[in-house]
Amino acid sequence: MSDLRRTSVQDLLRSTELDREVLVKGWVRTRRGNKYVQFIAVNDGSGFNSIQVVANAEQFPEEKLKADGVDNGAAVAVRGKLVASQGKGQSVEIQAEEITVYGTADQDAYPLQKKGHTLEFLRGIAHLRPRTNTFGAVLRIRHAMSFAVHKYFNDHGYFYIHTPIITGSDAEGAGQMFRVTTLSDTKPPLNEAGAVDYSQDFFGKATNLTVSGQLEGEVAAMALGKVYTFGPTFRAENSNTARHLAEFWMIEPEVAFFDLQDNMDLAEDFLKSLVRYALEHCPDDLQFLNDQYDKELLNRLKFVVENDFQRLTYTEAVDILKGAKQKFEFPVDWGTDLQSEHERYLVEKHFKKPVILTNYPKDIKAFYMKLDEDGRTVRAMDVLFPGIGEIIGGSQREDDLQKLQQRMQEMHVPEEDLWWYLDTRRFGSAPHAGFGLGFERLILFITGMANIRDVIPFPRFPKSAEF
């Protein structure tokens, strides 16, 4: 069968050229049938649907198929004729002429042999779960969203910047960091004060894994104008929740000459374009997730595309929350950060649509956000999504050197670590803005999955770095 070129299952399923010889390679999902005919579903990962292979018992007796290992999980090549299907559920099928088994899967040992595994069980076999319907769908959607991100920015004149993963400073103060070192773990060199002498470490200083590429992104935006990052970021927080990962991917556009209004427009257009891309490019995978896990998924996605996000200030939101009839666990007061319950009330009950909150009190936001004229709030924006909460956080940045230095002093951010960042305000400073989108939060929203560990191939969280 070597002269015949292989066709992907998806191409076969879309094919209108029938009654021709085809070659397909993939894995057996199911084999069923009777003593006259066996039906073998073959999937090669190219899409959600498998192709049905019809094996006539005269040429392929059930005992022979079984003995050869043509069973759930086996890798096979099938040569045969592509014909219109006589059964329900598919338009074409393959009449098998030759079946080759590359690798079998012992049905007693194969962890995926039985149906209806829990998502938790599948997390323990993350190396096999991409073979299931659910994770095949999630990973294909994850790919589609990654590509949609790059395509959106490329089409709009942005340049992709690879910001460093290993960093010499905890610039954002965004949380606990992972230390990166090559020093001896039991006998590191010490200085006179008895502390570890990091001048002898690989980089000549203490280094950590990045929590954000934003500051380097700002540097690039002040030269290339419109840039974005898309890379891994890290938090060493002991959060064993369905919403946190120790290693996750983040998208951070940063744009020179953008103000808060431009930033909101970008965030809304960007998110809508991503959702629209998923609806257009992943209909089969989304339909399965909608039917299997979340009957409101497709409606929710369409709703986001079709409706304007509600924009209001933090101060206006506090007024709404104070007037709400609902009882909250945490009290709402101007100056305190909003809790998840408050955000959900605004998005899911009050406005019933995505919300962009702006102009937060300066004390609950990062040092680099631009001060409003009132001196009390900053030009921050959070985009809140139904079921997810904050999906985007961003701001216009402080472009005034002295105001920035003052905020750094007030918030105890050491200037000597960020001399290069301050240089962008010393030389040719300009208004600019940007935001961060947690990629896994996006995938949670798009797939309707409930646990963030189920939307990344190999999740990293406390006590878990397997695979």
Residue selected from 106, 269, 306, 363 as contacting a copy of itself according to rule CB under 8 A = 106
CA angle (375 as vertex; 373, 381 as ends), nearest 5: 75
When binding is defined by CB under 8 A, the residue of 57, 61, 64, 168 that contacts a copy of itself is 168
Can you read off the two tokens belonging to residue 176? Answer: 């606990």
Q: How far is the CB of 57 from a copy of itself (least distance, A)?
A: 24
**Cβ atoms within 10 Å, residue 284:** 14
What is the maximal distance between C-alpha atoms in the chain?
85
Coil, strand or helix: which one is 43?
strand
Q: Which is nearer to a copy of itself, 62 or 423 (CB)?
A: 423
Which residues are 55's β-sheet partners?
38
Stretch that binds a copy of itself, among 14-22, 88-96, 108-116, 309-317 (CB under 8 A): 108-116
Residues 18-77 that bind a copy of itself (CB under 8 A): 25-28, 44-46, 73-75, 77
Q: Does residue 174 belong to the site contacting a copy of itself (CB under 8 A)?
A: no
Tell me: does residue 249 bind a copy of itself (CB under 8 A): yes
In this chain, which stretch among 244-252, 269-277, 332-340, 360-368 interacts with a copy of itself, using CB under 8 A? 244-252
Q: Which is nearer to a copy of itself, 89 or 194 (CB)?
A: 194
Query: 43 forms bridges with which residues in the sheet?
Result: 27
Distance CA 62, CA 52 (A): 16
The H-assigned helical ranges of 205-259 are: 214-224
Residue 133 in contact with a copy of itself, rule: CB under 8 A: no
| Sole binder of a copy of itself in the list 109, 116, 373, 412 (CB under 8 A) | 109
Nearer to a copy of itself (CB atom), residue 67 or residue 109: 109
DSSP state, 350? Answer: I
* Spatial contact of 170 and 211, defined as CB atoms under 8 Å apart: yes
Count of residues touching a copy of itself (by CB under 8 A): 110
Q: Least Å distance between CB 198 and a copy of itself?
A: 9
Alpha carbon 47 to its chain's center: 19
CA 173 to CA 131: how far, in whole Å? 39
CA dihedral of 457, 458, 462, 463, whole degrees rounded to 10: 150
Contact indicator for 21, 60 with CB cutoff of 8 Å: no
One of 53, 54, 70, 139 touching a copy of itself (CB under 8 A): 139
Provide the minimum distance between the beta carbon of 201 and a copy of itself in the complex, in angstroms, as a whole number.
9
Considering only residues 196 through 225, tell me which ones interact with a copy of itself, judged by CB under 8 A. 196, 202-205, 207, 209, 216, 219-220, 222-225
Min. distance of Cβ 292 from a copy of itself in angstroms?
18
Residues 330-369 that bind a copy of itself (CB under 8 A): none
State the Cα torsion 275-280-284-286 to the nearest 10°.
Answer: 10
